[in-house]
Amino acid sequence: MTIEEVAKLARLARIEISEEEKAEFVANFDSILAYVDIIKKATVEGIKPEIGELRNVMREDENPYEGGTFTDKILNQAPATQDKFVKVRKIL
């Protein structure tokens, strides 16, 4: 990475940086890009994940609550309600 490229990035980000900072960024970007190259070359062939098989676990609901059981408790704790609903501010 060059100082000119760092200056272009600074313009795109709309930030002002001094000449010393540009030189420092060049060194930092070079080390970051070198590390990314190392990661790109890494392979995962033959490596098995340590976790087991990923899958969804579904179960039947046991003793489900009847609809509306907690409605009044929830509505009593809401700052504003209207017609058995929690009233919120309009976002859009």
Q: What are the sequence ranges of the domains in the chain?
A: 3-41
- By CB atoms closer than 10 A (0-12, 13-18, 19+), residue 64 is exposed
Query: How would you classify the pairing of strands 81-82 and 85-86?
Result: antiparallel
DSSP letter for 81, please.
E
| pLDDT at position 56 | 82
pTM of full prediction above 0.85: no
In the block, residue with structure tokens 């890494």: 42
> Ramachandran region of residue 68, left (φ > 0), alpha (ψ -120 to 50) or beta?
left
Please say whether the structural domain 3-41 has been given the CATH code 2.40.50.
no
- According to DSSP, the residues that pair with 82 across neighbouring strands are 85
pLDDT value of position 59: 82
pLDDT per residue, tens digit, the chain (92 aa), is 899 999 999 999 999 999 999 999 998 999 999 999 888 888 777 777 677 777 788 888 888 888 888 989 999 999 999 998 999 988 87
